[in-house]
Amino acid sequence: MSEIPIDDVARLPAPGDNVAIATRRLEAGTILRAEGETFQLTHTVMEGHRFAVRPIDRGAELLSWTLPFGVALTDIRCGEYVSNAGMLEALGGRPLDFELPAAPNFEDRITRYELDEATFAGAPPLERYAEPPLFRGFDRGIRGVGTRNHVVIMGTSSRTAAFARIVAQRLENLPAAGGFDGVVAVAHTEGGGAEIPNNRELLLRTLAGFAVHPNVGALLCVDYGSEAVSNTVLEGYLRREDYPIDELPHRFLSIEGGFDRHLAEAEGQARQWAQQLQAESRVELPASHLKLALQCGGSDAFSGVSGNPLAAWVARELIRCGGAANLAETDELIGAEPYVLDRVRDAETARRFLQMVERFKERVSWHGASAEGNPSGGNKYRGLYNIVLKSIGAAMKRHPEVPLDGCLEYGQQIPESGYWFMDSPGNDLESIAGQVASGCNIIYFVTGNGSITNFPFVPTVKIVTTSQRFELLAEDMDVNAGAYQDGTSMDEMGRQLFARTLAVAAGERTRGEAAGHSQVSIWRDWPQADAAALDRLLATSTPAGAPLTIRTESAPAVSIDAITTPTGVALDRIGLVLPTSLCSGQIARLAAQRLNHRGLEGELGLSRFSALVHTEGCGVSGGPNEDTYTRTLIGYLTHPSVALALLLEHGCEKTHNDYMRARLLDAGVDAERFGFASVQLDGGIERVLDQIEGWFRKQSADMTGPQTTGTDAGGLRLGLLAGGVVPERAARSLARLTSWIVGAGGTVVVPEGAGLAANPAFAAALDISPGLAPSLAHGEYARPGFHVMEAPTGHWTESVSGLGATGIGILLAYAGEHPLQGHPMIPMLQVTGDRGVAAAYADDLDAVVDADEGVGGQQLLDLLVETASQRLRPRLWDQGNTDFQITRGLLGVSM
């Protein structure tokens, strides 16, 4: 076998390193030459993975970028595949055609960084250019300069997320003309509960930053008014903290009546603003007005070699022009402190950075997790074995010549030109939201695997780290940083990207903007404020799943039109596109919309296609939270109403397709029943959409039309819940309904908490104690009978989503204050017994419950029968006021 020069097949990030990164797959037995010596590879080494190029003694440090990322467990010879336990575990869950090392040869070890203030010397600022280049932007005065000009519809809390989306969808074809770039929604998961969340200050700061962002030409904030974070609270914060909200057209709208009427009102307001924005023009302005968000996601071993250094090169130039750059993702800098703090403006900034890192670690520890556990399965698969390797690569977004000028809280406004660190989780979407709130008007997203995420009103430039991955995803990516590995100089690539950045700032559309999808996720609330409850929560056992004994009654005779399935009866027949993580959610939505638009549901005998878009599966701690997550996904895959289902991975998340195959096997479910597709591995958005459609079309040969059958009340599987106070008479009507359905052999599931499960009248009517301990884990399939399901957070949408995974076919919600969001896949009826609520929301409610419990129970049963038989569609469900969110429980925390 001939010798291969190591530079042809591998990279040493720095000359002093003792391990190299393979730039392509290298087979076992390959002979390499380095520094005049030859050696042979002991194992097949994957692209992006590391092997030793110098002997490493047991106990010695392994080095990349001359920084230690582990300690040798044995003597490591030249040519050995270096591996730790985490990498071997991650790869062990993938289908590989070669043999992995039998045991790890190094272990992770992070040396705590200590700031030596006695020898500390502050770094001088970069020299600025006298005449920075110009670009054409929107001059907003004290708000800064916009690179885009959008009308933004912002759901102030999670309760109005669907409202914001619907308004934006109604206006998505409004032509972008003149100075107008379109209507977009900001829909998120936070602030919708009755209790003040732990992240309240952070949430308000983020929403305030969104509100006055220079890319926002006009703003509509929407709430119901009873949320913990409402329009009143937000407006008070904006004025108290001196955000210049009066410098832009804006309005605070509360839904105090018909949902559709308010949609029309919001649509009319947005159209009016759009006409105003069309008359606005870009003007020439210096590049000093640009603020660059530096972000990476779906990282690989080359992120620190090509993509991040390229982003850093342009950030340096931008700062020389008087602009600013923002580095974030606190937990993805752990272990890289020696590099991050190599050049710092002053000791106070260095101290502040270290304090933020320690604060982040402490918050994560309250939830039984470690911040060092950040790397996802996709990171490890692509060569980032541990947090130190990931962090060192991420830190390369700071150019060696650029000093760190200051540290910001999440969403805090960038005060001046320079290079700024912002505290945030490594969760890409949550981190980006904070950077946008800080004032960043352009985003660099460096990705090794090919992340496709976009923000609604700030352009995202996607920078891919290798040429091979860029070629695979060329239709969705903007810049090929892999050209550096191919021989193009960093200076040449930097000049090209700087010029392109000015063009994007002046209005040139990025690939993501052309694709037309985006999403927002703000740093999610952390359930624990300290470690006091940790031991108790870790010791909590999972409910056994057995139904609870209640008082039952014979149900009135009813007949329901149902559908025969291999496991019984169902109320619907749905095709499901299920994203395995947050990053594939928007593509799953596009896939379901496309399939419905093309009429494929009719060919397959389905009622429709549905996608369940959420924010989980990556960028969050594991443990009990991960168990709940996988249980919930499996609950939907095996739901009685789901006739066909396909899992869609992004490709680099922890909960990828192979992970889900393994979890399905653990649950005793045949994975061959389902389709699998990958945004990244199938070649990008358009190709994976074709792949998804192709899989569903192939199933038509084995599909027959729905076989209908009749069933009685025992065929109902009901999710029952309440928002607000349920008066005694209404509670008794709901209890009577429950006793009928369970008595007939059906299923009723209520979430634990302050709703019906704790209602004394409801409990007394069923002869149970109020506040019973849950009998059913969150998202667990419910056997026939009555159940109380775990609902640890009290978040309405999380409770609704958990109920859906138990296999219920219909939802009934009592509206004590106002109607709330339903479920995108399962119809939800909304009723009330409150005359004031009934009068205010007459157009949205499906019934007003009669005061007599017998009459009220019959009234509700008739309503369920008509809906279950698909002769009645719930009003708000029909209008699209739905949302979906998987819970993190009480121990899930952003990372």
**pLDDT, tens digit, 9 for 90 and up, residues 652-679:** 888 999 999 999 999 999 999 999 999 9
When mean pLDDT is compared across 366-380, 422-436, 625-639, the lowest value belongs to 366-380
The reply to whether 828 falls in a domain is: yes
- Model pLDDT, residue 509: 97
What confidence category does residue 2 fall into, taking pLDDT thresholds of 50, 70 and 90? confident
Per-residue burial over 199-230, b = 16 or more CB atoms within 10 Å of its CB, e = otherwise: bbebbbbbbbbbbbbbbbbbbbbbbbeebbbb
Please state the rounded mean pLDDT for residues 77-94: 92
What confidence category does residue 754 fall into, taking pLDDT thresholds of 50, 70 and 90? confident
The reply to whether 29 falls in a domain is: yes
Instruction: Please choose, from the candidates 613, 584, 525, the residue with its C-alpha nearest in 3D space to the C-alpha of residue 885.
Output: 613
The reply to whether 224 falls in a domain is: yes
Please state the rounded mean pLDDT for residues 713-742: 96
Q: Is residue 481 classed as helix, strand or coil in its secondary structure? A: helix
* Position 106 pLDDT exceeds 90: yes
- Model pLDDT, residue 112: 87
Q: What is the CATH number of the domain that holds 662?
A: 3.40.50
What confidence category does residue 307 fall into, taking pLDDT thresholds of 50, 70 and 90? very high
Looking at 515, 531, 553, the residue that finishes a domain is: 515
- Model pLDDT, residue 851: 81
Q: 748 and 863 share a domain?
A: yes
Q: Could you tell me which residues come within 8 angstroms of residue 617 by beta carbon, excluding any fewer than 6 positions away?
A: 579, 580, 581, 582, 583, 629, 653, 654, 655
* Position 176 pLDDT exceeds 90: no
The reply to whether 771 falls in a domain is: yes
The reply to whether 894 falls in a domain is: no
**R_g of the chain, CA atoms, integer Å:** 28
- Model pLDDT, residue 530: 97
In this structure, the strands spanning 828-832 and 810-815 are parallel
- Model pLDDT, residue 36: 85
The reply to whether 359 falls in a domain is: yes
How many domains does the chain contain in total? 5
Query: What is the side-by-side order of every strand in the sheet holding 675-678?
Result: 608-611, 574-579, 642-649, 675-678
* Position 889 pLDDT exceeds 90: yes
Q: 31 and 174 share a domain?
A: no
Q: 867 and 745 share a domain?
A: yes
When mean pLDDT is compared across 345-354, 471-480, 753-762, 803-812, the lowest value belongs to 753-762
C-alpha–C-alpha distance, residues 440 and 423, integer Å:
15
* Position 1 pLDDT exceeds 70: no
Q: Would you state the structure tokens that stand for residue 804, as one six-digit string? A: 């859906």
Q: Is residue 52 classed as helix, strand or coil in its secondary structure? A: strand
Q: 268 and 158 share a domain?
A: yes
| Residue ranges making up the domain that contains 219 | 137-284
* Position 855 pLDDT exceeds 90: no
Please state the rounded mean pLDDT for residues 162-169: 98
Q: 279 and 191 share a domain?
A: yes
The reply to whether 344 falls in a domain is: yes
pTM metric for this prediction: 0.96
C-alpha–C-alpha distance, residues 263 and 266, integer Å:
5
Q: Could you tell me which residues come within 8 angstroms of residue 847 by beta carbon, excluding any fewer than 6 positions away?
A: 829, 831, 859, 860, 863
Per-residue burial over 374-409, b = 16 or more CB atoms within 10 Å of its CB, e = otherwise: bbbbbbbbbbbbbbbbbbbbbbbbbbeebbbbbbbe
Region for 779 from its dihedrals, namely left if φ exceeds 0, alpha if ψ lies in -120 to 50, beta otherwise: left
What confidence category does residue 771 fall into, taking pLDDT thresholds of 50, 70 and 90? confident
- Model pLDDT, residue 177: 84
Residue whose entry in the numeric block shows the structure tokens 């150019």? 399
Looking at 472, 490, 515, the residue that finishes a domain is: 515
Please state the rounded mean pLDDT for residues 110-127: 92
* Position 363 pLDDT exceeds 90: yes
- The H helix count followed by the E strand count for the chain is 26, 36
Q: 276 and 306 share a domain?
A: no
Q: What number of CA atoms fall less than 13 Å from residue 843's CA on the CB side? A: 10
- Model pLDDT, residue 175: 86
How far CA 856 is from CA of 237, 786, 831, 863, in Å, comes to 44, 20, 11, 11
- Model pLDDT, residue 587: 97
Q: 613 and 672 share a domain?
A: yes
- Supply the mean pLDDT for the chain: 95
What's the pLDDT tens digit per position in 507-549?
999 999 999 899 999 999 999 999 999 999 999 999 999 999 9
* Position 376 pLDDT exceeds 80: no
The reply to whether 122 falls in a domain is: no
Q: 352 and 489 share a domain?
A: yes
Q: 186 and 306 share a domain?
A: no
Long-range contacts, stretch 798-801, CB < 8 angstroms, 24+ apart: 798/885, 798/886, 798/887, 799/721, 799/751, 799/753, 799/887, 800/719, 800/721, 800/828, 800/883, 800/884, 801/612, 801/614, 801/632, 801/884, 801/885, 801/886, 801/887
Q: What is the residue type of 84?
A: N
Q: 291 and 331 share a domain?
A: yes
How far CA 845 is from CA of 157, 257, 834, 840, 874, in Å, comes to 21, 11, 11, 10, 8
Q: Would you state the structure tokens that stand for residue 793, as one six-digit string? A: 């957070």
Q: What are phi and psi of 779, to 5 degrees?
A: 80, 5
How many C-beta neighbours within 10 Å does residue 514 have? 10
* Position 289 pLDDT exceeds 80: yes
What's the pLDDT tens digit per position in 690-725?
999 999 999 987 787 788 899 999 999 999 999 999
* Position 225 pLDDT exceeds 80: yes
Contact criterion met (CB below 8 Å) for 622 and 649: no
* Position 374 pLDDT exceeds 80: no
Q: What is the DSSP string of 750-765?
A: EESSSSGGG-HHHHHH
Q: Give me the residues paired with residue 62 across strands.
A: 70
- For the chain, what's the residue count? 895
Looking at 659, 686, 705, the residue that finishes a domain is: 705
C-alpha–C-alpha distance, residues 523 and 221, integer Å:
19
What confidence category does residue 800 fall into, taking pLDDT thresholds of 50, 70 and 90? very high
Q: 320 and 247 share a domain?
A: no
- In the chain, % of residues over pLDDT 70: 100
Q: 91 and 202 share a domain?
A: no
* Position 594 pLDDT exceeds 70: yes
Q: What is the CATH number of the domain that holds 58?
A: 2.30.130.110
Please state the rounded mean pLDDT for residues 176-182: 91
When mean pLDDT is compared across 351-365, 408-422, 805-819, 846-860, the lowest value belongs to 846-860
Per-residue burial over 332-356, b = 16 or more CB atoms within 10 Å of its CB, e = otherwise: bbbbbbebbbebbbbeebbbbbbeb
In this structure, the strands spanning 19-22 and 50-52 are antiparallel
What confidence category does residue 850 fall into, taking pLDDT thresholds of 50, 70 and 90? confident
* Position 377 pLDDT exceeds 80: no
